[in-house]
Structure 1
Amino acid sequence: MTIYGKQVDKKWQKTWAENESTTFTKKSGKEKLYVLEMFSYPSGSKLHAGHWFNYGPTDSWARMKRMQGYNVFQPMGFDAFGLPAENFAIKTGIHPMDSTLKNIETMETQLKAMGAMFNWDHEVVTCDPDYYKWTQWLFLQLYKNNLAYRKNAPVNWCPSCNTVLANEQVVDGLCERCGTAVEKKDLTQWFFNITKYADELLEGLEGLDWPEKTKSMQKHWIGRSYGSSVTFDVKDMDLTFDVFTTRVDTLFGATYVVFAPENKLVDVLTTPENRAAVEAYQDAAKKQSDIDRQSLTREKTGVFTGSYAVNPINGREIPIWVGDYVLNTYGTGIVMAVPAHDERDFEFATKYQLPIERVIEGGDALPFCEYGPMVNSPGFDGLQGDDAKSQVTAWLEERKKGALKVNYRLRDWLVSRQRYWGAPIPIVYCDHCGEVAVEESDLPVRLPYDVAFTPDGKSPLAKSESFMNTTCPRCGGPATREADTLDTFVCSSWYYLRYVDNKNSDAPFDKAKVNEMLPVDKYVGGPEHAVMHLLYSRFITKALRDMGYLSFDEPFKSLTHQGLILGPDGQKMSKSKGNTISPDEYIDQYGADVFRMYLMFGFSYSDGGAWSDEGIRSMARFVDRVERNFHNVRDILQSSDHVDTIRSEEKELLYWNANAVKGVTEDAEKMQFNTAIARMMELTNALNKYIGLDQHHHGTLKQVTEDFIRLLAPFAPHFSEEIWSLFGHSTSIFDEPWPILDAQALVKDEVEIAIQVNGKIKERIMVSTSSTEDEIKTLSLAAPAILRETEGKTVAKVIVIKGRLVNIVAK
């Protein structure tokens, strides 16, 4: 009789629900463990194999930790606002609210069928007014503390999605959601002042148990660099500008300067005879992405403004150019060009026949971009490295032409979106009072249902008079609401806090409860969120801490990234390719446990890989074998074949049991699930071999079998509960303690060694671990197969590698 599959799944899911097994309660004497998977976006109607690869193995890890004595908190919810649901509505006419809630209902059913121990009574759904009320509250706290502000700025615009994008949402110049080329526009937008926390966001990475690659990505995105600010005068104008440089030691070699096309000073600096060319160049630059403009392989282009600057260190007049390889969002949007010692400047200068002058000694050819002694730099020749930079900067400071400077790549987080399906921004505009925050007591500002949200580049909410027309919270006069909605990353930047206290109607969370439960101890999700969600959540945590709402610094102590499950063709799954894998049909056939175990055994958790039907069939055969062993063990324990002494056969079985306890514990802890299951397969083989003996020590067999069920339980929860109950237990396997390692059992009395004759293995024998080298030689030479192999030959040498090998040289 098969004791795994969909019917067994349903039986135990019903039992867990009736016993409230997944309800989280405080348990005295148990250490809390907050385990969290990145919540899913209900844009599709069903979960796919990728969701399972995130949630199933993490649940197995959490179940193991529960058996190890932790009080596990593992909530689940849905990141429900966003463009996909709105675009689906535009295409089909189904309202985003309707399609989203229907998808959530379907996905809840699927997640429960997974058999995960999610704490559903702590569920959050970000499009629920009871949730986004507090997202709006968060916005107001940032606003009141000067961390949210509105300004006109050049922004990334996706002409397909008809909305602005944060810098982090532009990948290789394309919209990360739809792949359309991004354009630049000047718009008045809302920003969060994340740059205020740049240093802390950078330095806080050191103490986190995160993948090094993710930490490196955040470090690069924050992009802190130390250098100097240099002030240049403009010839024949009462005007100066500052340049940031990390190589002030090359200042004598600056032979021109380059402004970003968007820099506001360009219009002032451009002479009448050059204006047409400069404006045409500016228009062309607007169509280029920042990523494209920074590409090292792209040909550098520019145009002369007609004006000149004065190099402050030598008084030399140098031309002012405009070039799109300079970004207005980095430094001051201006670079001093030193073509002899910078590759981009060298390429530009060569193309436009601008002077190239060496001021750093070293290398046979230019550009030479390393450090070396200063040359052709009167008063500074011979200086190099930090000493050179320090003395040049000091010279500039004395003349008020420069200063030490720290610069960052990070820019403030652009949070307003010109779309419908998001949390309304709680701001109104009054002709008398200006920009006014909505009172907290008036939250939530509800998203109206009946809105024409066909995108035309303007905020859909602006078309709803009933929404837009309101009264000023300050003077009571007529006012209009902000028509933009918040970036959905704002919703997900704090959800891990709401889970703890999700039914609180008076506050986003109770401070004491959150401080007790946070930070998240283990966070699992995709690496694509490295410089978006993960960075934003760290910022929000630190901001709330500074406002007095939290007492911790980081949201996620330990982070694991799961890999990507590809289609059978090795390509990323997509409906258009027809290579998506739905879990449902496999669960119908094999049950949730076989599906879960295949995902954990068939792929490295951090790498993923291509789906294989043969792989899941192999896992089903393994589970069948485990079941047969279980039935055989029950028969043996009811028989009279018992032996009273512990023989070498029992010691061998106990060795493999200890090996499995050690290996599964260590590997599963590191989320190396494939090797953890391999250890259980080894124990299965050992059990199968022992079961085949004529006589058995019942106590040893029962102990090893029950340890095996405990080890298997997190990986196959329904199957293990069924076996455990059939083994005569009335309590849940997950209320059992995790097996304890018997380290002594790993020390063998005997060990198998291979015997070679002239380099080829001819026999294997068991020898005592206390045997001397001479005893091993005697036993090896007396083995029947070796006697046959050496008959008529002279044994010239016997080499013993203790515990492993004997090599006999016979002639």
Structure 2
Amino acid sequence: MEYNFKEIESKWQQRWIADNTYKVEVDESRPKFYVLDMFPYPSGAGLHVGHPLGYIASDIYSRYKRQKGFNVLHPMGYDAFGLPAEQYAIQTGQHPAVTTEKNIARYREQMDKIGFSYDWSREVRTCDPEYYKWTQWAFTEMFNSYYDKELNKAMPITHLVEKFERENFCGWNSLGEAEREEILGRDYRLAYQAVTTVNWCEALGTVLANDEVKDGLSVRGGHPVEQKPMKQWLLRVSAYAPRLVDGLDNLEWSDSLKEIQRNWIGKSEGATMFFPIEGSHKKLEIFTTRADTVFGVTFMVLAPEHEWVGELTTREQKAAIDDYIEQTNKRSERERIAETKRVSGCFTGSYALNPFNGVRIPIYISDYVLVGYGTGAIMAVPAHDSRDYAFAKFFNLPITPIIECDISTQSYDAKEGKLINSEFLTGLEVRDAIKRMFEQIEEQGVGYKKINYRLRDAIFSRQRYWGEPFPVKYEEGIARVLPIEQLPLELPAIENFSPTSDGQPPLARVEGWEYETSTMPGFAGSSAYYLRYMDPRNNQALVSRRANEYWENVDLYVGGIEHATGHLIYSRFWNKFLYDLGYICKDEPFKKLVNQGMIQGRSNFVYRIKGTNRYVSLGLKGDYDTQEIHVDVNIVRNDVLDLEAFRAWSPDNKDAEFILEDGKYVCGWAVEKMSKSMYNVVNPDMIVENYGADTLRMYEMFLGPLQQSKPWDTNGIDGVHKFLKRLWRICENATEVAPTAVELKILHKTIKKVTEDIENFSFNTAVSAFMICLNELYDQKTTSKEILRELIILIAPFAPHIAEEIWQQLGGGGTVCDAKYPVYDEKYLVENSFNYPVSFNGKTRFNREFAVDMAISEIEAAVKADSQTEKYTEGRAIKKVIIVPGKIINVVS
């Protein structure tokens, strides 16, 4: 019977659904294992072959752990809120819920065809009110909590209020409610409101995240984006910065990913210093890790958004400062960080004084200083910092080595009249000089030692419709969160999804809407979805204590490294907060994390002779003046163009003529990002249709190491498909014959190799091992069911459909998903013979295999009697035969 993958795969996909094969429940009699994929945003384009890469890897591992006896939780859902669906709604008038539902159906259809072992009964969608009820609940908990630095954990805000009442903090007992709320929100609540600088896109009517902006334009639509101060909801993620850094030490994440997070969180040990402002009672606060360079400060720089810029700007400099700020607002923060060679700035007209020696220091603003990093102000030491140096050169400012700085004091009075210059640092190593300056900073009363973090609080507002509504009402200007009994606060149905004429969010036009008009950002719904999967239909809690204590946290998380500074930071923060309040049992959400690489597109090109509708094949294009044009890779096979499909591809091509080589049109190719604009997007449906899901699964793993990027190239897919057909044929002839020693050795060698490869996520070499194994079994003319059943169990995680079908044919009971995973036996791997290289006077001439326990005298006799020995001794007498057991044989003549 021929291998009919279409019938087999359809049959088993239906059977798995009907039998609830992948449904899982808490089972305290079995060890648990939780495997999670970063869930997708369901776009209208559906999946391309790059998307399933991580899903296939996690599915293989899930099936493997299930066969090893684990109770495996492997869920899937959809990150269903977001700007793309809203923009499509604005353009077409179609409600985002409708398009999202349609896109989800398309994704589900594609994923089912690939044969993933998801427990779909646990599916979650972030746009489902039953789901976002718990996102809203978590927000209210954060609003009602603060971070207790003494206990080093989040605590109910009521505890803090009680303390303020007891101590009458800042005259607390005489303050009004609005004044109290201002203090709590500004300094303590973990969810709070504040004016902050955001990426504002007027055309889209919303705030954008940094990764949604490029070159001052929105990634979606290419609209201008400006930096704008706006009142926003924020989450006090910065309170958890120390724990977010320290917690990395206990995670099985790659060193590179950990380093990205450490750099993003940005722990720095240094000092806060205060520089008096000339003619003012105020002092400018800065943070530095190099206090020893304070004697080399020749200017100060503020971020253009710093709250004191207006106050420090003199009348003469106001026009120039205003113009500079306007220009800065057109540039995103990411651009400001990245453009290290660009120099710009403006003098405020004001001066600060060096707190140690009274030197007068001009104060500038520049966009290379960011208001959210540190204090938004720096002391510039151009002799010891490259960016400060470039700024000083551009504005012709002094560049003073610290050992030569001016110690003139003139009218400046330091503490107790004691002035300090750089001489007392002379001869010290940098570390010792910094330590001495820390001591002097505190002794002189001009600052204090401090550990600083670069991590900033997360902006949590978006001025758009398609997102989680905030469970917030305003009464007399005071924000009040809704009690859990009133959740979920559902998103109201509207017809106009655009911002209002005065720039307010779409919800502002909803009649009778009494709540916050902004909605939550995309990361809100993805920050705790892994917890909801544990107990997705619970109406009383995000997750029950029983379910959480059983599943605990994610054992293996698979997803892209591009989420290192967004989702993975926010999820860890969210998890730690819920842990602090006792809602969950583990401090970290993801034990082990594997980042899959990107599957790049293999683009194809045709070459049109300029000014004509004639196309010349790759090998002949040098004879013509041609234009290179991307062509749809789906009408190219092994770089050979389907001419009729090309003519039908576009109306412009219907009369195309071709100059062929050897009767074929050969296309050029290049490896590029997979993109619709380059026509190199490969739809997995086409691969499944032509080769089957098992071929797709194995081929994606065979392309190369999971964690590396690699090009999609269909040229090798036939080989994987032929492998599965050969597997089918060898199993068709299976009998009850006992396995030979050679067959057992082949099998157990493969079990050992594949098991090690799965544990190391080296799936490409595991596929190679299967191919080698099958070739060796064919050489042995294997028919033993005992051998083939074990091989089928081994290959089932990779190619589950064909494995299920063959498993039944070989008499296996139940589903192959639950078949016990094979264990290799070392006794079958022991070598019983050795293939000796036989040398004559030091030159290897041939090989002979002898049993490892064969006597040396017997080996010597056999070598002497070998017909080839006479040939290589050329009639000379053999003087001696040197035999090193298990290594070499050398005949001396």
TM-score, scaled relative to structure 1: 0.89
Q: 1:683 to 1:15 in 2, by over 3 A?
A: same
Letter in 1 for 2:833: E
Alpha-carbon distance between aligned partners in 2 of 1:702 and 1:355, rounded to the nearest angstrom: 85
Q: What residue number does 2:520 align with? A: 486
Task: Measure how far apart 1:360 and its partner are.
Answer: 6.1
Query: 2:78 is paired with a residue of what secondary structure?
Result: coil
Structure 2 residue 78 is matched with structure 1 residue 75: no
Structure 2 residue 596 is matched with structure 1 residue 513: no
Alpha-carbon distance between aligned partners in 1 of 2:569 and 2:450, rounded to the nearest angstrom: 24
Out of 424, 434, 437, the position equivalent to 2:478 is: 434
Structure 2 residue 272 is matched with structure 1 residue 229: yes
Structure 2 residue 581 is matched with structure 1 residue 547: yes
Out of 740, 744, 755, the position equivalent to 1:654 is: 744
Query: 1:27 is paired with a residue of what secondary structure?
Result: coil
Q: Deviations over 1:724-780 (max 9, x none)?
A: 111123421222111011011111111223445688764332122235777656655
Q: What residue number does 1:307 align with? A: 350
Letter in 2 for 1:574: S
Q: Deviations over 1:42-80 (max 9, x none)?
A: 112532212321212211111111010101111111111
Letter in 2 for 1:784: S
Q: 1:376 to 1:785 in 2, by over 3 A?
A: farther
Letter in 2 for 1:627: W
Q: 1:484 to 1:786 in 2, by over 3 A?
A: farther
Task: Measure how far apart 1:547 and its partner are.
Answer: 1.7
Alignment of 1:158-557 (within 5 A): 158-159=201-202, 161-167=204-210, 175=218, 182-295=225-338, 297-359=340-402, 377-430=422-475, 432=476, 434-455=478-499, 458-466=503-511, 469-470=512-513, 480-557=514-591
Out of 673, 677, 681, the position equivalent to 2:767 is: 677
Q: Deviations over 1:259-309 (max 9, x none)?
A: 222212222222222222222222222222333333464232222222221
C-alpha contact 2:600 2:710 (8 A) present in aligned 1 = yes
Paired residues, number: 767
Query: 1:521 is paired with a residue of what secondary structure?
Result: strand
Alpha-carbon distance between aligned partners in 1 of 2:881 and 2:395, rounded to the nearest angstrom: 79
Q: In angstroms, what is the RMSD of aligned CA positions?
A: 2.6
C-alpha contact 2:206 2:505 (8 A) present in aligned 1 = no
Task: Measure how far apart 1:552 and its partner are.
Answer: 0.8
| Identity across the alignment (%) | 41
Structure 2 residue 847 is matched with structure 1 residue 764: yes
Letter in 1 for 2:541: A
Alpha-carbon distance between aligned partners in 2 of 1:563 and 1:34, rounded to the nearest angstrom: 22
Alpha-carbon distance between aligned partners in 2 of 1:142 and 1:579, rounded to the nearest angstrom: 45
Task: Measure how far apart 1:347 and its partner are.
Answer: 1.8
C-alpha contact 1:198 1:410 (8 A) present in aligned 2 = yes
Q: What residue number does 1:370 align with? A: none
Q: What residue number does 1:17 align with? A: 17
Task: Measure how far apart 1:326 and its partner are.
Answer: 1.6
Q: Deviations over 1:625-670 (max 9, x none)?
A: 1122212333xx4xxxx68xx8xxx333222211111110010112
TM-score, scaled relative to structure 2: 0.81
Alignment of 1:628-643 (within 5 A): 628-634=729-735, 637=736
Structure 2 residue 560 is matched with structure 1 residue 560: no
Q: 1:247 to 1:800 in 2, by over 3 A?
A: farther
Alpha-carbon distance between aligned partners in 2 of 1:620 and 1:804, rounded to the nearest angstrom: 40
Structure 2 residue 808 is matched with structure 1 residue 718: no
Q: 1:386 to 1:728 in 2, by over 3 A?
A: same
Query: 1:567 is paired with a residue of what secondary structure?
Result: strand
Alpha-carbon distance between aligned partners in 2 of 1:307 and 1:800, rounded to the nearest angstrom: 91
Alpha-carbon distance between aligned partners in 2 of 1:533 and 1:152, rounded to the nearest angstrom: 23
Alpha-carbon distance between aligned partners in 2 of 1:262 and 1:546, rounded to the nearest angstrom: 35
Alpha-carbon distance between aligned partners in 1 of 2:857 and 2:202, rounded to the nearest angstrom: 83
Alpha-carbon distance between aligned partners in 2 of 1:187 and 1:758, rounded to the nearest angstrom: 87
Letter in 1 for 2:850: V
Structure 2 residue 692 is matched with structure 1 residue 591: yes
Q: 1:292 to 1:18 in 2, by over 3 A?
A: closer
Alpha-carbon distance between aligned partners in 2 of 1:799 and 1:306, rounded to the nearest angstrom: 93
Query: 2:9 is paired with a residue of what secondary structure?
Result: helix
Query: 1:340 is paired with a residue of what secondary structure?
Result: coil
C-alpha contact 2:438 2:449 (8 A) present in aligned 1 = yes
Q: What residue number does 1:120 align with? A: 120
Task: Measure how far apart 1:623 and its partner are.
Answer: 0.9
Letter in 1 for 2:456: R
Task: Measure how far apart 1:100 and its partner are.
Answer: 0.7
Q: What residue number does 1:703 align with? A: 786
Alpha-carbon distance between aligned partners in 1 of 2:876 and 2:832, rounded to the nearest angstrom: 33
Query: 1:341 is paired with a residue of what secondary structure?
Result: coil
Letter in 1 for 2:847: R
Task: Measure how far apart 1:555 and its partner are.
Answer: 0.7
Q: What residue number does 1:741 align with? A: 824
Alpha-carbon distance between aligned partners in 1 of 2:222 and 2:781, rounded to the nearest angstrom: 59
Task: Measure how far apart 1:352 and its partner are.
Answer: 2.2
Letter in 1 for 2:229: D
Alpha-carbon distance between aligned partners in 2 of 1:399 and 1:107, rounded to the nearest angstrom: 65
C-alpha contact 2:465 2:507 (8 A) present in aligned 1 = no
Task: Measure how far apart 1:424 and its partner are.
Answer: 1.0
Letter in 2 for 1:214: L
Alpha-carbon distance between aligned partners in 2 of 1:18 and 1:485, rounded to the nearest angstrom: 40
Q: 1:760 to 1:105 in 2, by over 3 A?
A: farther
Task: Measure how far apart 1:8 and its partner are.
Answer: 0.4
Q: 1:350 to 1:608 in 2, by over 3 A?
A: closer
Q: 1:780 to 1:483 in 2, by over 3 A?
A: farther
Q: 1:242 to 1:779 in 2, by over 3 A?
A: farther
Q: What residue number does 2:192 align with? A: 149
Letter in 1 for 2:851: S
Alpha-carbon distance between aligned partners in 1 of 2:770 and 2:865, rounded to the nearest angstrom: 36
C-alpha contact 2:205 2:498 (8 A) present in aligned 1 = no
Alpha-carbon distance between aligned partners in 2 of 1:800 and 1:740, rounded to the nearest angstrom: 37
Q: 1:747 to 1:424 in 2, by over 3 A?
A: same
Alpha-carbon distance between aligned partners in 2 of 1:259 and 1:773, rounded to the nearest angstrom: 85
Q: 1:226 to 1:781 in 2, by over 3 A?
A: farther
Q: 1:463 to 1:314 in 2, by over 3 A?
A: closer
Query: 1:559 is paired with a residue of what secondary structure?
Result: strand
Task: Measure how far apart 1:549 and its partner are.
Answer: 0.7
Q: What residue number does 2:60 align with? A: 60
C-alpha contact 1:156 1:185 (8 A) present in aligned 2 = yes
Unaligned runs of 5+ in 2: 146-188, 405-419, 604-670
Letter in 1 for 2:517: A
Task: Measure how far apart 1:484 and its partner are.
Answer: 0.7
Q: Which moved more, 1:347-356 or 1:122-131?
A: 347-356
Alpha-carbon distance between aligned partners in 2 of 1:404 and 1:809, rounded to the nearest angstrom: 79
Letter in 2 for 1:424: P
Task: Measure how far apart 1:10 and its partner are.
Answer: 1.6
Query: 1:304 is paired with a residue of what secondary structure?
Result: strand
Q: What residue number does 1:610 align with? A: 711
Q: What residue number does 1:695 align with? A: none
Q: Which moved more, 1:525-534 or 1:150-159?
A: 150-159
C-alpha contact 1:292 1:298 (8 A) present in aligned 2 = no
Letter in 2 for 1:394: E
Q: Deviations over 1:232-265 (max 9, x none)?
A: 1112222211111111111111122122222122
C-alpha contact 2:227 2:329 (8 A) present in aligned 1 = yes
Q: 1:673 to 1:607 in 2, by over 3 A?
A: same
Q: 1:628 to 1:459 in 2, by over 3 A?
A: farther
Task: Measure how far apart 1:622 and its partner are.
Answer: 0.8
Query: 2:423 is paired with a residue of what secondary structure?
Result: coil
